[in-house]
Structure 1
């Protein structure tokens, strides 16, 4: 199964993400601070990385640019207008539906293991 990291400065959203996947076979690690997530991913790259667009001290695409190559990066945002040069694997709009999270994980996790 997939190793997944979720970064959002809103703890309630990382808590929800953990609850959605608590009974799955996926390994889930959540972060509420950008530097902690970047450091973790540089040391132990996940298969899938979910990132909020507007974080406490930087934008999600700036975080994504600091990650190792080969990670599927999913942008989670409530912003209607995003200007980014980063190519995201998927974009999820807030407020998101829980089944959308599951579907994205299943799709990207399956694609990762097919390669």
Structure 2
């Protein structure tokens, strides 16, 4: 099954998403920062990234820019989760494969990920 990289500075969110997607049969790698996510990408080749927008040091947009700049990952599907910055995120055309608004519906999130893989 596919490997998902989940990036969110809220530990509870990463735990919830890990449980949801492992129950669906996915391998889940999680981290609490975009900076760490870039380090993970040096070792792990995920099939999809799910990232939060608002994070300290480097936000989800900056993470997506860094991922898109990498020749191996420039086509990697990236799903952005955001609580209130959906308009700002949508202005970054082409960075994200899908934008999901928090709070998200679990079934809809599963369907979104399944459709992208």
TM range (shorter): 0.7 to 0.9
Relative to structure 1, the CA distance from residue 65 to residue 72 in structure 2 (aligned partners, 3 Å threshold; closer, same or farther) is same
TM-score by structure 2 length?
0.84
Residues 39-72 of structure 1: CA deviation (Å, up to 9, x unaligned): 1123323111011111111221110111221210
Residues 7, 32 of structure 2: 8 Å contact kept: yes
Is 1:99 the counterpart of 2:104 in the alignment? no
For residues 22 and 85 of structure 1, what CA distance do their matches in structure 2 show? 30
Could you list the runs of 5+ residues in structure 2 that have no partner in the other structure? 68-72
TM-score by structure 1 length?
0.85
Q: Indicate the SS of the match to 1:66.
A: helix
Could you list the runs of 5+ residues in structure 1 that have no partner in the other structure? 110-115
Q: Indicate the SS of the match to 1:30.
A: strand
Q: Indicate the SS of the match to 1:103.
A: helix
For residues 42 and 77 of structure 2, what CA distance do their matches in structure 1 show? 14
Residue 101 of structure 1: CA displacement? 1.5
Q: Indicate the SS of the match to 1:22.
A: helix
Of 59-68 and 8-17, the range deviating more from structure 2: 59-68
1:88 aligns with 96
Of 90-99 and 53-62, the range deviating more from structure 2: 53-62
1:75 aligns with 80
